[in-house]
């Protein structure tokens, strides 16, 4: 479907992870409605049964086949032999003092991934992972420290959403999804775009496409896929010129800024939507006033907003978070230059759920004391987060 693998940074990795269990069952959450129809047809079953099962699972959240009362008894007995409704088990569920929640999922083979639920006044955003580890090796990112172990399957991506959805309080609803957890979503386009189809379709979870955002480090050829899927695009800029960007994001050597920004212009032309550019502030590296000026110059003419993310610390990164004053100065400079900027409260730092703090490696403590820290601390009100408001 996609010819998106030309940038595959790990050509030897399997492209698809087997969705069939050892017993030969197929995982329901790996399928679109069309997939299930084809699957049932192959088993000699009526195709309209697919619609019925989808309604039970996504509309009613019923996965106990015995309760699917409009299916014949004999079919109900057969289903468990051919379909599984397993979701990635939740290994850990942590709550931050600021209301952010982090979920750790078991994705088999000793691997785990994280998703983060971020509440705000008018929305409930779920930040989900697309890969175990990441091959893009951005220097400031905790996930990037861990090389790609494998790409998640569709059911593991949809599964993160369903597990969190099933644990919401009455009346709550996930309003937005951002692919800003672990991994580079455009390095796993097959599963990412299929899961988007499941999550937005009327037969699936019915989330508006405009409430789904894919964030990329800049895999230029695949940006077109984000436009094709009619979902929103966020781009991790993180460097105001090629020299700095290549230093902190090696992918820039392959797709330098000119190519990246041309692809961004094309995205905005086709979708008429604006792009969010994420910009991580690294002390002494990306946080100077000349960088602010370069950023504004670079993005001139591209309908966009800039989401400033003060660097979130993690052990052994070698980078520092700028002072509150410097962050504020950078923010003010961008505004002065006419940019549309977001700088929000950092969420979930105390449970290592903030941007760039997600990983499965063992050298990270589970919680940290941020009580003395203003930005990201409990008493700070106006500062920015990586988890954007889009
Ligand atoms: N791989 C995708 C999405 C996941 S990373 C991407 O790179 O866009 C989500 C965001 O977290 C990116 O904008 C990235 O620049 C930012 N990020 C990574 N490490 C960070 C850190 N330590 N502090 C703050 N933001 C970080
Ligand atoms: Fe991967 Fe994104 Fe982290 Fe870069 S910032 S290493 S692309 S997860």
Instruction: Clarify whether 294 is annotated catalytic.
Output: no
Any idea where the domains of the chain sit in the sequence? 22-84, 90-351
Three-class secondary structure of residue 67 per DSSP:
helix
Nearest ligand, CA 236? 1
Cβ–ligand 2 contact at 217 (below 6 Å): yes
Query: Which tens digits make up the pLDDT trace of 264-291?
Result: 999 999 999 999 999 999 999 999 999 9
Fold of 90-351: TIM Barrel (3.20.20)
**Token pair for 358:** 């997600």
Instruction: Clarify whether 264 is annotated catalytic.
Output: no
Fold of 22-84: DNA polymerase; domain 1 (1.10.150)
Cβ–ligand 2 contact at 138 (below 6 Å): yes
Closest Cα to residue 156, out of 105, 196, 118, 193? 105
- Closest atom of ligand 2 relative to the 142 alpha carbon: 3
Query: Which tens digits make up the pLDDT trace of 198-251?
Result: 999 999 999 999 999 999 999 999 999 999 999 999 999 999 999 999 999 999
Positions in the chain whose pLDDT score sits under 50: 1-18, 361-364, 368-390
Cβ–ligand 2 contact at 229 (below 6 Å): no
Left if phi > 0, otherwise alpha if psi is -120 to 50, otherwise beta: which for 316? Answer: left
Catalytic residue among 114, 155, 278, 333: 114
Catalytic residue among 264, 355, 366, 380: 355
CA pair distance 211, 228, nearest whole angstrom: 15
What Cα–Cα distance (Å) separates residue 358 from each residue in 134, 140, 302, 312? 11, 12, 30, 11
- Closest atom of ligand 1 relative to the 179 alpha carbon: 3
- Closest atom of ligand 1 relative to the 184 alpha carbon: 1
Query: Separation of 301 CA from ligand 2 center, angstroms?
Result: 26
Pocket residues: Cβ below 6 A from ligand 1: 140-141, 180, 184, 215-217, 236, 238, 278, 280, 309, 311-312, 314, 355-356, 386
Mutating to test ligand 2, I would choose from 7, 146, 184 the residue with most ligand atoms within 8 A of its C-beta, which is 184
- Closest atom of ligand 2 relative to the 134 alpha carbon: 1
- Closest atom of ligand 1 relative to the 136 alpha carbon: 1
- Yes or no: say if 192 and 130 are a contact pair by the CB < 8 Å rule: yes
Nearest ligand, CA 359? 2
Query: Separation of 369 CA from ligand 2 center, angstroms?
Result: 25
Query: Separation of 72 CA from ligand 2 center, angstroms?
Result: 48
Query: Separation of 26 CA from ligand 1 center, angstroms?
Result: 33
CA pair distance 20, 164, nearest whole angstrom: 23
10, with CB counted inside 10 A (0-12, 13-18, 19+), is middle
Residue 385: the pLDDT is 31
Sign of the Cα torsion 179, 184, 186, 187 reads: negative
Query: Separation of 102 CA from ligand 1 center, angstroms?
Result: 16
């Amino acid at each position: 479907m996609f010819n998106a693998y030309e940038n595959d940074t790990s050509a030897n990795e399997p492209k698809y992870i087997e969705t069939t269990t050892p017993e030969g069952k197929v995982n329901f959450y790996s399928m679109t409605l069309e997939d299930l129809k084809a699957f049932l047809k192959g088993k000699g079953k009526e195709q309209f049964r697919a619609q019925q099962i989808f309604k039970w699972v996504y509309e009613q959240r019923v996965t106990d086949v015995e309760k699917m009362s409009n299916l014949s008894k004999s079919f109900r007995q057969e289903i468990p032999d051919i379909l599984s409704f397993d979701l990635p088990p939740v290994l850990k569920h942590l709550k931050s003092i600021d209301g952010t929640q982090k979920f750790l999922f078991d994705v088999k083979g000793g691997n785990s991934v994280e998703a983060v639920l971020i509440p705000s006044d008018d929305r409930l955003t779920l930040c989900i992972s697309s890969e175990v580890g990441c091959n893009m090796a951005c220097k400031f990112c905790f996930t990037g420290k861990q090389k790609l172990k494998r790409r998640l399957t569709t059911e593991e991506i949809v599964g993160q959403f369903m597990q969190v959805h099933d644990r919401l309080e009455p009346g709550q609803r996930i309003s937005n999804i951002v692919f800003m957890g672990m991994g580079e979503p455009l390095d796993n386009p097959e599963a990412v775009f299929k899961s988007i189809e499941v999550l937005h379709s009327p037969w699936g979870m019915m989330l508006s496409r405009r409430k789904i955002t894919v964030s990329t480090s800049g895999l230029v050829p695949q940006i077109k896929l984000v436009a094709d899927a009619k979902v929103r695009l966020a781009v991790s800029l993180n460097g105001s010129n090629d020299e700095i960007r290549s230093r902190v994001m090696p992918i820039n050597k392959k797709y330098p800024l000119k190519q990246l920004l041309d692809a961004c212009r094309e995205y905005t032309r086709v979708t008429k939507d604006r792009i969010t550019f994420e910009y991580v502030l690294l002390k002494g590296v990306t946080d100077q006033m000349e960088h602010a000026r370069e950023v504004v110059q670079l993005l001139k003419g591209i309908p966009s907003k800039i989401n400033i993310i003060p660097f979130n610390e993690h052990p052994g990164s070698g980078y520092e978070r700028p002072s509150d004053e410097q962050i504020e100065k950078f923010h003010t400079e961008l505004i002065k230059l006419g940019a549309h900027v977001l700088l929000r409260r950092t969420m979930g730092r105390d449970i290592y759920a903030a941007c760039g703090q997600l990983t499965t490696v063992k050298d990270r403590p589970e919680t940290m004391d941020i009580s003395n820290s203003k930005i990201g601390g409990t008493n700070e009100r106006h500062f920015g987060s990586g988890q954007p408001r889009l």
